[in-house]
Amino acid sequence: MVIDQHVHSACSIDADTPMKDMALAAADMGLDLLCFTDHCDLEHHLTGLFDPGCFDRDRLISDFSRASESVKGKLRLRLGLELGAGWRLKDKAAEIAAGCDFDLIIGSVHNLPSQPDFYFLDFEKEPYRTPEACKKLFRQYIGEHFEMIGHSLFDVIGHIGYPLRYMKRAGIKLSLSEYYDEFSLLFRKLIESGKGIEVNTAGLRKDFGQVLPLPGILKLYRQSGGEIVTIGSDAHDISSLGTGIREAQDLLEKIGFRYFTVFTKRKPEFFKL
């Protein structure tokens, strides 16, 4: 089965393909299930205040209903959200979630408070250039996830290790073993709260060449007792739909997972790998 639970459409600021076109293409490719998880980054990264343009509920709902109609009987569709900074702007996050019957909410840390997305940080320049600065930033990045866990509005944590992509682009490679204690504690709290993680395959399509979280961190999650794990391509266009899903399934099995998770109305269901 190819189930992709992290896909962006024209409802995201950084994607252009309408949901209907993404859904039709996925049906043609023979995907079994697709979950749209368009961006909703609540905090304007420069002001730290609520960004009113981050989410268009009416458009999301009407695009989804059009897409569902076009692939009826051919492909199962789910409506999710990739929520950023929900734990910093809790009331706004609750308001958004209350207005849509989401299947899955991915909680993603794309930036530190009032700072740009890690994507936009130049790790070849000050103040991020040195390994020490990157180590400090990565520790702050992990810290944000503890804040997220304290707030219940998510089902899985998205692409754990996100800044590593952009550090690697600048030739900086962090050794993650020095963060294992933090990750172990994070996973313990995450599992206690009944939430999980995703395996994000976008890195396989890029120079990064790996999934996120990296295999060592996935292993740590498994050893901590983690069972809830979704898989998503993070596709922003048709050509990326469903890519890397089978590789991620194989990797999970090799690490010792027996199931992957599919969310419907925010309830997990487990499928054999």
Q: How far is the CB of 127 from Zn ion (least distance, A)?
A: 24
Q: How far is the CB of 29 from Zn ion (least distance, A)?
A: 19
Stretch of residues binding Zn ion (CB under 5 A), selected from 88-96, 125-133, 227-235, 250-258: 227-235
Within a 13 Å sphere around the CA of 6, how many CA atoms are in the beta-carbon half? 27
* Chosen residue from 5, 9, 17, 108 binding Zn ion by CB under 5 A: 108
Tokens encoding 127: 């103040």
Q: Rounded to whole angstroms, how far apart are CA atoms 104 and 25?
A: 21
> Is residue 234 within the footprint of Zn ion (CB under 5 A)?
yes
Stretch of residues binding Zn ion (CB under 5 A), selected from 103-111, 139-147, 237-245, 255-263: 103-111
Q: Rounded to whole angstroms, how far apart are CA atoms 145 and 163?
A: 13
Residues in the interface with Zn ion (CB under 5 A) total: 3
Q: Which is nearer to Zn ion, 51 or 82 (CB)?
A: 82
Q: How far is the CB of 181 from Zn ion (least distance, A)?
A: 25
Q: Which is nearer to Zn ion, 142 or 253 (CB)?
A: 142
Q: Which is nearer to Zn ion, 63 or 82 (CB)?
A: 82
Q: How far is the CB of 105 from Zn ion (least distance, A)?
A: 12
> Is residue 230 within the footprint of Zn ion (CB under 5 A)?
no
Q: How far is the CB of 108 from Zn ion (least distance, A)?
A: 4
Residues 151-190 that bind Zn ion (CB under 5 A): none
Cα Rg of the chain (Å, integer): 18
Stretch of residues binding Zn ion (CB under 5 A), selected from 70-78, 106-114, 175-183, 244-252: 106-114
Q: How far is the CB of 71 from Zn ion (least distance, A)?
A: 21
Instruction: Tell me which residue of 93, 68, 95, 98 sits closest to 82, measured CA to CA.
Output: 93
Residues 35-94 that bind Zn ion (CB under 5 A): 82
Q: Which is nearer to Zn ion, 12 or 249 (CB)?
A: 12
Q: Rounded to whole angstroms, how far apart are CA atoms 271 and 16?
A: 32
Q: Which is nearer to Zn ion, 143 or 225 (CB)?
A: 143
Q: How far is the CB of 115 from Zn ion (least distance, A)?
A: 15
Residues of this chain that bind Zn ion (CB under 5 A)? 82, 108, 234
